[in-house]
């Protein structure tokens, strides 16, 4: 005879045996956990994608770049940290039922919050969970961070789509990440905001690694000019060295794919934008992978938690 | 111009739905999960009409905070009116292994609280009250005044008739309410009451109870989830 407290009794049993709820579960959950990732990898490289200005195609780039990395055989987790608009869901036609908040409050284990995207991509919606890290006691925090560490241990890349603008949250992500892509377009307003982003980061004591991506360019030359311009300005006035990672050409297929709620890399793999993004992914994975950060063996999510609570 | 808008990442297909969902979501306020400050006893009271699922919701929260958060949780029941109410709670208490105190009168509350002073969270269960019965509401008020809850959640069934909804909140509003907790979301497909309440009261929604299973069927409310429920109803798709 089953009653409404069946799950509760199971939980109580396991708690008495000293198990944590995250490890709760029978064979089904074991299988699920095992299938979350095919192959274990070294510590994930955390790449945040950010922009000073909204509407430069940041979320779209995050998704397609993640997929391009998947196609290179990488295990990638896309982390939608855009607290305002759940763009990643919309652009990919996914709707995660749970978000990070459920993990932070211990209601779901991390693997249940992750949804499967195309090409083996895993997607996690952040909800407002991440910023709650600051409000937990050290015991709770430890337990949750160990959940997050699972992600870092098993993926090659964690791509974080941050909100637009330069809020405290966005800054925390940028400072905690191994590196950040600052997305801009050739429009002067977008360039100015990208520079602003670099400037804010340059004023922090923590050294962050920033790379520029110029989106929606007419041709490669326009991309190079804009990338070079911001790079030079940052070097001269902020004493900040940026990499120019590359550009993505303006391409009607992009808007077509957005209308169809599919990533353009999948629906128009031979379009100019898809080729450009694949190139970016190739360059990203070719640049020397950082072993965490220089002289710092700490983990992304612990650093993040520290930034949120400062 | 269109191209520009599209390139900025606003999807055209389903954009009305998106817009609607966002604007609905912006109407609804949520509180997030119960705040617990380890080492400091916070009392969480659940009040509401009869049969809405106060005790079940309370047990769900108590077990989530015990097992998932590793907090010290205690229970007080002031429901000595309904036959079997205390026994029901005792069964759950035995499963989770929590201290449970019974308060027959408001003046027994301080003693009960003293016994639970090592707890991080104390959940206070109250007797289901008819909003039409003024005396009952006065009794409830006395219990709350004695226990000084940090949060008082008014538990409302999603199956409540719209015409009864506002009177319920108005009558229970004689005691200070600071959260709405919705239950029985799985027993209806119309969720307009969320918006009706949001339009009338600035009280945030705390949790949504979506079934009878303890402790699984209780989730912290989010504006997106609520907007999705309301829209799911309009689109006629199951949510």
Domain span at residue A88?
A: 42-308
Q: Is residue A237 part of a domain?
A: yes
- B18 burial level (CB within 10 Å; 0-12, 13-18, 19+): middle
> Can you identify the CATH homologous superfamily of domain B38-235?
P-loop containing nucleotide triphosphate hydrolases (3.40.50.300)
Residue A242 in this model has a pLDDT that exceeds 60: yes
φ, ψ at B87 (rounded to 5°):
-60, -40
Angle (CA) B5 B7 B9, round 5°: 85
Q: Which residues of A touch B18 (CB under 8 A)?
A: 90
Q: Does B92 reach chain A within 8 Å, measured CB to CB?
A: yes
Residue A186 in this model has a pLDDT that exceeds 70: yes
Q: Is residue A149 part of a domain?
A: yes
pLDDT at A187: 93
- In chain B the beta strands, taken as DSSP E runs, fall at 42-47, 73-77, 100-102, 121-125, 151-157, 179-183, 205-209, 218-220
B130: left (phi over 0), alpha (psi -120 to 50) or beta: beta
Q: Is there a contact between B44 and B123 (Cβ–Cβ < 8 Å)?
A: yes
Q: What ipTM was assigned to the predicted interfaces of this complex?
A: 0.73
Instruction: Specify the CATH number for the domain of residue A263.
Output: 3.40.50.300
Sheet of strand B73-77, all strands in order from the earlier edge strand to the far edge: B100-102, B73-77, B121-125, B42-47, B151-157, B179-183, B205-209, B218-220
Number of helices (H) and strands (E) in chain A: give both, helices first.
14, 8
Q: Measure A174 CA to nearest chain B CA, in Å.
A: 22
Does the distance separating the beta carbons of B38 and A91 come in below 8 Å?
no
Does the distance separating the beta carbons of B219 and A107 come in below 8 Å?
yes
pLDDT band for A66, please (50, 70, 90 cuts): very high
Q: Is residue A82 part of a domain?
A: yes
Q: Which residues of A touch B13 (CB under 8 A)?
A: 259-261
Restricting to B residues 37-76, those with a Cβ less than 8 Å away from any Cβ of A are 38, 56, 59, 63-64, 66-70
φ, ψ at A181 (rounded to 5°):
-95, 125
Condensed to tens digits (0 to 9), the pLDDT of residues A113-141 reads 888 889 999 998 876 666 666 666 666 67
Q: Which residues of B touch A57 (CB under 8 A)?
A: 7-9
Condensed to tens digits (0 to 9), the pLDDT of residues B48-98 reads 999 999 999 999 999 999 988 888 999 999 998 888 888 889 988 888 889
Condensed to tens digits (0 to 9), the pLDDT of residues B172-208 reads 988 889 999 999 999 998 888 988 888 888 889 999 9
Mutation to test the A interface, candidates B3, B6, B7, B71, most A Cβ within 10 Å: B7
Please report where in the chains the tokens 């004591």 appear, as a residue.
A205
Q: Which residues of B touch A190 (CB under 8 A)?
A: none
pLDDT band for A76, please (50, 70, 90 cuts): very high
Supply B115's token pair: 């016994």
Mutation to test the B interface, candidates A3, A20, A21, most B Cβ within 10 Å: A21
Average pLDDT over residues A255-274: 92
Does the distance separating the beta carbons of B215 and A11 come in below 8 Å?
yes
pLDDT at A79: 87
Whole-number Å distance between alpha carbons of B15 and B13: 5
Number of structural domains in chain A? 1
Of A32-41, A172-181, A195-204, the range with the lowest mean pLDDT is A32-41
Q: In sequence order, which residues have a C-beta less than 8 Å from that of residue A26 and are 6 or more positions away?
A: none
Q: Measure B141 CA to nearest chain A CA, in Å.
A: 31
- The partner residues of A214 in beta bridges, in order of sequence, read A184, A247
pLDDT band for A102, please (50, 70, 90 cuts): confident
Does the distance separating the beta carbons of A8 and B63 come in below 8 Å?
yes
Nearest CA to B76 out of B52, B110, B49, B51 is that of B110
Q: What percent of chain A has pLDDT over 70?
A: 79
Supply A37's token pair: 């990732």
pLDDT at A9: 82
Whole-number Å distance between alpha carbons of B147 and B141: 10
């Amino acid at each position: 005879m089953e009653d409404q407290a069946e799950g509760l009794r199971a939980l109580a049993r396991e708690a008495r045996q000293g198990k944590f709820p995250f490890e709760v579960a029978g064979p089904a959950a074991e299988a699920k956990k095992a299938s979350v990732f095919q192959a274990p990898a070294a510590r994930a490289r955390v790449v945040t994608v950010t922009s000073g200005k909204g509407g430069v195609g940041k979320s779209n780039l995050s998704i397609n770049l993640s997929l391009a990395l998947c196609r290179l055989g990488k295990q990638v987790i896309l982390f939608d940290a855009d607290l305002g608009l759940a763009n990643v869901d919309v652009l990919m036609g996914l709707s995660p039922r749970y978000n990070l908040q459920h993990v932070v409050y211990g209601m779901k284990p991390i693997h249940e919050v992750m949804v499967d995207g195309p090409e083996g991509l895993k997607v996690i919606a952040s909800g407002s969970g991440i910023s709650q890290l600051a409000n937990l006691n050290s015991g709770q925090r430890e337990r949750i961070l160990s959940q997050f560490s699972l992600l870092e241990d098993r993926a090659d890349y964690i791509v974080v789509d941050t909100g637009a603008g330069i809020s405290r949250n966005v800054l925390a992500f940028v400072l905690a990440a191994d590196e950040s892509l600052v997305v801009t377009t050739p429009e002067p307003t977008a360039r100015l905001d990208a520079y602003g982003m670099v400037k804010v980061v340059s004023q922090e004591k923590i050294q962050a690694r920033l790379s520029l991506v110029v989106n929606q360019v007419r041709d490669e030359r326009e991309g190079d000019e804009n990338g070079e311009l911001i790079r030079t300005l940052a070097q001269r006035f902020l004493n900040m060295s940026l990499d120019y990672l590359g550009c993505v050409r303006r391409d009607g297929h992009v808007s077509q794919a957005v209308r169809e709620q599919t990533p353009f890399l999948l629906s128009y793999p031979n379009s100019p934008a898809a080729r450009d993004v694949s190139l970016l992914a190739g360059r990203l994975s070719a640049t020397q992978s950082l072993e965490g950060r220089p002289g710092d063996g700490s983990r992304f999510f612990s650093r993040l938690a520290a930034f949120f609570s400062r | 111009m269109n191209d520009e808008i599209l390139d900025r990442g606003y999807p055209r297909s389903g954009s009305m739905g998106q817009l609607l969902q966002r604007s609905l979501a912006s109407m609804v306020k949520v509180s997030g999960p119960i705040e617990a400050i380890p080492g400091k006893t916070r009392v969480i009271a659940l009040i509401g009409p009869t049969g809405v699922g106060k005790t079940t919701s309370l047990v769900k929260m108590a077990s989530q905070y015990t097992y998932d958060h590793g907090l010290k949780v205690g229970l007080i029941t002031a429901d000595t009116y309904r036959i079997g109410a205390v026994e029901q709670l005792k069964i759950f208490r035995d499963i989770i292994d929590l201290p449970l105190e019974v308060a027959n009168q408001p003046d027994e509350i301080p003693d009960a609280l003293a016994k639970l002073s090592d707890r991080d969270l104390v959940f206070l269960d109250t007797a289901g009250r008819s909003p039409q019965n003024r005396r009952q509401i006065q009794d409830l008020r006395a219990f709350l005044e004695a226990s000084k809850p940090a949060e008082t959640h008014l538990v409302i069934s999603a199956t409540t008739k719209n015409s009864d909804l506002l009177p319920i909140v108005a009558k229970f509003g004689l005691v200070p309410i600071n959260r709405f907790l919705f239950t029985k979301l799985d027993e209806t497909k119309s969720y307009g009451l969320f918006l009706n309440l949001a339009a009338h009261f600035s009280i945030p929604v705390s949790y949504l109870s979506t079934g009878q299973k303890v402790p699984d069927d209780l989730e912290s409310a989010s504006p997106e989830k609520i907007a999705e429920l309301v829209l799911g109803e309009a689109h006629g798709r199951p949510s």
